[in-house]
Amino acid sequence: MPTGNLDMEKVVFGVLRFFSVIKMAPNPHAGLPLDTDPADLSWNQRLRHARYFRLVVKKSFGDTMNNMQIVQLRDGGGPVLFGVGGSEPQTVISAQVPDALHSRAEAGMETDNSLDEPTVVPEVGLKPLFSMNQQADDMHAAAPSAEVQLFYERMRCHVVSGITGFSWHCDTGSLLLSSFNRVEILRNGEILPVAEWFSGAILNATLCPSDPDFTAFCSAGQLYVDCKNSQFYSTRSIANHTHGVASFVAQEELERFEGFWWNPRCSEILYEEVDESPVAQLSFDIPGRSCTEPMRYPLTGSSNPISRLRLITLDKKSANVTEKALPAGLKELFPWYEYLSRAGWVDADYCYVVILNRRQTRQALVLINKKAFGDADASPETIRREYVFVVYQEMNDAWINFQVSNLLYFLPHVGPELRFLYGSEKNGLCHLYLRTCRLTALGQSDSDTSGVQEAAVTSGNWAVIKEAPLAIDKGRSHVYFLANFHSPIVTSLCVASYHLASGTKSLTPSDLCYRQERGQFNLNINPEVGFVAWVSSAERMPECRFYRLIQTGASSLPQSVYLCRLKVQPSIMPSPGTTKDILEETEYLKSPLTDLFTVQFIEYTSDESLQTHHAAIFLPKDPPRTATGLYPVVHHVYAGPCVQLVKNSWTTAAQFLKYVSLGYAVVVIDGRGSANRGIAFEAPLKNNLGTVEVRDQMDGLMECLTREPLLDRNRIVVTGWSYGGYMSLQLLCNYPHVYRAACAGGAVSDWHLYDTCYTERYMDLPKDNPVGYKASNISKLAHKFPNEEGRLLIVHGLIDENVHFHHTEQLINALIAAGKPFEQLIFPSERHGIRQGTAVEYFHASMLSFFARALK
């Protein structure tokens, strides 16, 4: 967390030249009578409806603000907030928290009502750190390359223009600004260009912690190092090899988006060299177009890419670079190794890796002394004995959720004693542990460690959220993390002590859900100041809040006080939805979005599992428009592992506005396999995808129909995307008497066609589970689909490089062979996620049309 001394005038003066002017077009769409029966809408009305709710949902999520950093100025001024945001093009935005708000923090501390909302909530506007007339027009010249688009696809993000990230170098006050094709450093009020010699896409640009003259980045599968705007180093291009870049399967299925790591104390980089030559090649050509280069994609049961570790040392004085390889590969050191899940540095002398076996039932945290690199004469046995140490290992008969590695944090240590925090589900639910040990050479004992001590930092009938990282206050021995502390359907920011048995304390309200996203790299916390949190509920739109942290002593946990709401100053920076698209709030919608529906969260004991499950029912506030006096039902489904749908958050509710505004009720169910309930709750899916989770969805649906008499049990449709598309197909073919129709998007049809890392985690290798693979193959169940027209809509992006179009091709051929009717909607220019606004609108309008016909 940065605490360096910043000169605000220099910062404001310095940040510029990153943006293009957005031209606004008028909205041609007029209002739509929302009391109309959905079946009576015209195509144009449905398209207008889809467009309106795409934009209004986008706007409802609030101003774009991310990567928030909190800085306490040394001159005694109030804390300063920095982030990336605004509308496109993005920029660095900033605001100083007014001194007047600190009295609110003191009052909250005295009354112990710190989480209560003020009667009047102050707002603080974040402003761009440049004036609009300082914009440059050179940032919009280059469109994002395919490499950039695919990287953002793995992150589940939209490609944006302008600044995409920034980072501080605290010791020098340097600020690194990066976009997908430009990098600059702001230092002492001066903009310093970086890598002007380079013309390609730029990804993962990172300052050297010990020397900010060095900047490393990746492009086209190679690692580059810049020093003062000159090329200092680059890896050598080798066919089918990448350097410093995580493989497709690591990004997609292990959520590791980097492949190089700076030593925190000296100018050294540990990087991953990936050999893709053993990996199968698949073509994503569109008929009639020029052939494209095949993509390396490890089909389940086939070979994975091979990773090796290398170390480079940069000497600025001599302009020399020394590159050394780890003489023994990880496979030689650990024959069971298959996946490099995480990597980084413990200190100046030791790097670490987290490795998994192929079935992901075994995980080890391994330390490597950097002296091992370049010792070409050392045998694998010598390397393993003298330089490599396993400091923690875990096994599980089902699988180990790789996300627990996000909870790893090495604490400062003195001498040979090592201390680190880590997350584990070894006792059921995910909790944090503190481990202390000493490294021991294998030749001196049977173990890599001695004097092992371990203590549980958190405990209870709740789970630490694995997807988000930890934030550490080393001075007070506090750890900050996300957890479903109050309820399985609410995510809260929490704090605990890893030194004293102080329990766990929630820092955000129990009825509001903290928003987290894939690839979230920090918790926006400065323990000396406070934290920034996006919070919402299903019936309350998101707010970006600043909370002051009141530290009351080394022996107690801090108190949080809600000080103000954060906004991007609208007079300077347009809100989302008003740049490329203008959202004209005409007579289309006269009431707030939260007045469109009510929500019921249901907790029940499943007849299938005999465990507690959760579901949600979203009901329109308007009375039913049907002759029966009941609401037709849209069953929205995912039901796959690693995902939780049922949450008391606006993110959950907002996606259903397009349905409830037309008079549909929406049902969402989390059964076995869903996330954040512990490995035992997920494990029944092992080797059995397409079985227990299907039954749990039906069990939950019946529970919802019983609980809510206004749901029409004779008019139900089901829809989902990706695993949800797979489940939509499963539900329609197994329960055709329950569902009128299914809309299945981006669906897996045959797990043989999906990748190794995800599929084998849950299904084992095909050769070891042939029965499970055969039973889960939807194409083999084609004969079970209904014979009536208008009951199955299959949607897929033609260039989907995650769930390939081959899945839909195989399913379509099976349906044709079985004589089963279906409809299909193909998006030639879309990948696994439909990203383009017009494509999203067309898809939603088509789905609404399909449902209206099916539910007549």
DSSP 821-850: --EEEEETT--SS--SHHHHHHHHHHHHHH
Q: SS3 of 229, please?
A: coil
- List, for residues 330-340, the tens digit of each pLDDT value: 999 999 999 99
Q: How many CB atoms lie within 10 A of CB 732?
A: 25
Q: Cα(524)–Cα(534) distance, rounded to whole angstroms?
A: 10
Query: If you average pLDDT over every residue of the chain, what do you get?
Result: 88
Q: Cα(207)–Cα(185) distance, rounded to whole angstroms?
A: 9
Q: Taking 70 as the threshold, does the pLDDT of residue 586 lie above it?
A: no
Q: In what order do the strands lie in the sheet with 203-207?
A: 203-207, 214-219, 222-227, 230-234
**Does the bond joining 264 to the residue before it have cis omega, within 30 degrees of 0?**
no
Residue bearing the bigger pLDDT, 284 or 386: 386
* Tokens (6 digits) for 288: 């009639």
Average pLDDT of the segment spanning 182-206: 90
Contact 421, 411 (CB under 8 A): yes
- The pLDDT assigned to 721 comes to 97
Q: Taking 50 as the threshold, does the pLDDT of residue 21 lie above it?
A: no
Q: Taking 90 as the threshold, does the pLDDT of residue 167 lie above it?
A: no
Q: Cα(716)–Cα(742) distance, rounded to whole angstroms?
A: 9
- The pLDDT assigned to 108 comes to 52
With 0-12 CB in 10 A as exposed, 13-18 as middle and 19+ as buried, what is 309?
buried
Q: Phi/psi at 102 (nearest 5 deg)?
A: -70, -25
* Tokens (6 digits) for 676: 């954040």
* Tokens (6 digits) for 521: 């790299």
* Residue for token pair 């599980």: 396
Q: Taking 90 as the threshold, does the pLDDT of residue 553 lie above it?
A: no
- pTM of this prediction? 0.92
Q: Taking 50 as the threshold, does the pLDDT of residue 88 lie above it?
A: yes
- What are the angstrom distances between the C-alpha of 75 and each of 3, 5, 72, 79? 11, 8, 9, 11
Average pLDDT of the segment spanning 130-147: 53
Q: Taking 50 as the threshold, does the pLDDT of residue 157 lie above it?
A: yes
Q: How many CB atoms lie within 10 A of CB 282?
A: 15
User: What single string gives the DSSP state of each residue in 235-267?
Assistant: PPP-TTEEES---HHHHHHH-----EEE-SSSS
Q: Taking 80 as the threshold, does the pLDDT of residue 178 lie above it?
A: yes
Q: Taking 80 as the threshold, does the pLDDT of residue 597 lie above it?
A: yes
> In sequence order, what E strands does 78-133 have?
79-85, 91-96, 123-128
Residues composing the chain:
856
- List, for residues 356-383, the tens digit of each pLDDT value: 999 999 999 999 999 999 888 889 999 9
- What are the angstrom distances between the C-alpha of 251 and each of 246, 339, 730? 6, 12, 28
Q: Cα(751)–Cα(212) distance, rounded to whole angstroms?
A: 47
What's the sign of the alpha-carbon dihedral 160, 161, 167, 168?
negative
| pLDDT band at residue 736 using 50, 70 and 90 as cut-offs | very high
| pLDDT band at residue 142 using 50, 70 and 90 as cut-offs | low
Q: Considering the chain, what percentage of its residues have pLDDT values greater than 90?
A: 70
Q: Taking 60 as the threshold, does the pLDDT of residue 17 lie above it?
A: no
CATH number of 596-854: 3.40.50.1820
- The pLDDT assigned to 229 comes to 96
- List, for residues 415-470, the tens digit of each pLDDT value: 788 999 999 999 999 999 999 999 987 767 778 999 999 999 999 999 999 999 99
- The pLDDT assigned to 74 comes to 62
The domain segmentation of the chain, as residue ranges, is 100-125+401-570, 596-854
**Pairing status of strand 471-473 against strand 478-487:** antiparallel
Looking at the DSSP bridge assignments, the partners of residue 308 are 273
Q: How many CB atoms lie within 10 A of CB 23?
A: 7
- The pLDDT assigned to 130 comes to 58
- List, for residues 626-672, the tens digit of each pLDDT value: 889 999 999 999 999 999 999 999 999 999 999 999 999 999 999 99
**Residue whose C-alpha is closest to residue 272's, from 287, 252, 257, 290:** 257
- The pLDDT assigned to 290 comes to 76
Average pLDDT of the segment spanning 131-140: 40
Q: Phi/psi at 319 (nearest 5 deg)?
A: 60, 30
- The pLDDT assigned to 39 comes to 81
**Pairing status of strand 165-169 against strand 123-128:** unpaired
Angle formed at CA 680 by CA 679 and CA 685, multiple of 5 degrees: 85
322-326, 442-446, 469-473, 800-804: which has the minimum mean pLDDT? 442-446
Q: How many CB atoms lie within 10 A of CB 263?
A: 22
- The pLDDT assigned to 104 comes to 58
- The pLDDT assigned to 569 comes to 78
Q: Taking 70 as the threshold, does the pLDDT of residue 34 lie above it?
A: no
Q: Cα(37)–Cα(312) distance, rounded to whole angstroms?
A: 66
- The pLDDT assigned to 779 comes to 96
- The pLDDT assigned to 69 comes to 87
- The pLDDT assigned to 285 comes to 76
Q: What is the DSSP letter of 132?
A: G
Q: Taking 50 as the threshold, does the pLDDT of residue 405 lie above it?
A: yes
**Residue whose C-alpha is closest to residue 373's, from 313, 309, 325:** 325
- The pLDDT assigned to 839 comes to 95
- The pLDDT assigned to 262 comes to 97
Q: Taking 50 as the threshold, does the pLDDT of residue 173 lie above it?
A: yes
- List, for residues 554-564, the tens digit of each pLDDT value: 679 999 999 99
Rounded (10°) CA dihedral 12, 13, 16, 17: 170
- The pLDDT assigned to 97 comes to 84
Q: Taking 50 as the threshold, does the pLDDT of residue 617 lie above it?
A: yes
* Residue for token pair 């055709």: 736
Q: In what order do the strands lie in the sheet with 417-424?
A: 409-410, 417-424, 431-439, 449-456
**Helices of type H across 61-207:** 102-111, 146-155
**Helices of type H across 436-500:** none
**Does the bond joining 380 to the residue before it have cis omega, within 30 degrees of 0?**
no
Average pLDDT of the segment spanning 708-737: 97
Q: Taking 60 as the threshold, does the pLDDT of residue 244 lie above it?
A: yes
Maximal CA-CA distance, the chain: 84
Q: Taking 90 as the threshold, does the pLDDT of residue 53 lie above it?
A: yes
- List, for residues 472-528, the tens digit of each pLDDT value: 999 999 999 999 999 999 999 999 999 988 899 999 999 999 998 766 678 999 999
Residue bearing the bigger pLDDT, 578 or 345: 345
Average pLDDT of the segment spanning 830-853: 94
Q: Phi/psi at 217 (nearest 5 deg)?
A: -155, 170
**Pairing status of strand 350-357 against strand 540-550:** unpaired
Helix axes 723-734, 692-707, angle to 10 degrees: 70
Q: Taking 50 as the threshold, does the pLDDT of residue 319 lie above it?
A: yes
- The pLDDT assigned to 181 comes to 85
Q: Taking 80 as the threshold, does the pLDDT of residue 828 lie above it?
A: yes
Residue bearing the bigger pLDDT, 224 or 71: 224
Q: Considering the chain, what percentage of its residues have pLDDT values greater than 70?
A: 88
| pLDDT band at residue 577 using 50, 70 and 90 as cut-offs | very low
138-152, 376-390, 792-806, 816-830: which has the minimum mean pLDDT? 138-152
Q: Cα(616)–Cα(599) distance, rounded to whole angstroms?
A: 7
The residues near 113 (Cβ < 8 Å, ≥ 6 apart) are: none
Q: Cα(63)–Cα(78) distance, rounded to whole angstroms?
A: 23
100-114, 410-424, 445-459, 789-803: which has the minimum mean pLDDT? 100-114
